[in-house]
Amino acid sequence: MRTIRYSKVLHACCWHPYKAFAELGKAIKTIFLCRYFHSEALRREINEGLNVIEQWNGANDFVFFARRGELVSNRSEDHEVSMLALHLLQNCMVYINTLMLQQVLAQPKWADKLTPRDLRALTPPIWDHVNPYGRFAFDMTTRLPLE
């Protein structure tokens, strides 16, 4: 393992601040890696976070399905509109899913069955019930049965 000499850091601080920050970044990265390899709980937490991100990316691919999710225009305005529409769809999906999850979790039979680990596994970006193709029947005189 390499050690950092005080004189090297002092010299870097005086003449080249970016070199000092680079050395500091290396030290911070080394400390993090030591904690990561030592702590199984930290590795599990990071892995669970990565799984949530992968699920979110899967939802993005599912929702943004036209032309395999590629932006085909060269105009930055078109890219912006596409991304804003994707964000709007994501927010709507998460909002509706959160309301549906709250409705189910409010039932006493589920409150007793689910463990804290089960509750941690619940996440709003679910898309199994979303129909991206086909016909949609809208009745604008009624509301969704969500509280």
Q: 116-125: long-range contacts at Cβ-Cβ below 8 A with a sequence spacing of 24 or more? A: 120/48, 123/52, 123/55, 124/93, 124/94, 124/97, 124/98, 125/55, 125/56, 125/59, 125/90, 125/93, 125/94, 125/97
pLDDT at 99: 85
CA-CA distance, 145 to 142, in Å (whole number)? 9
| pLDDT attached to residue 115 | 83
- Kindly report, residue by residue over 84-102, the tens digit of the pLDDT: 888 888 888 888 888 888 8
First to last CA, the chain: 59
pLDDT digits (tens, 9 = 90+) for 34-74: 999 999 999 988 888 888 778 777 777 777 766 566 667 77
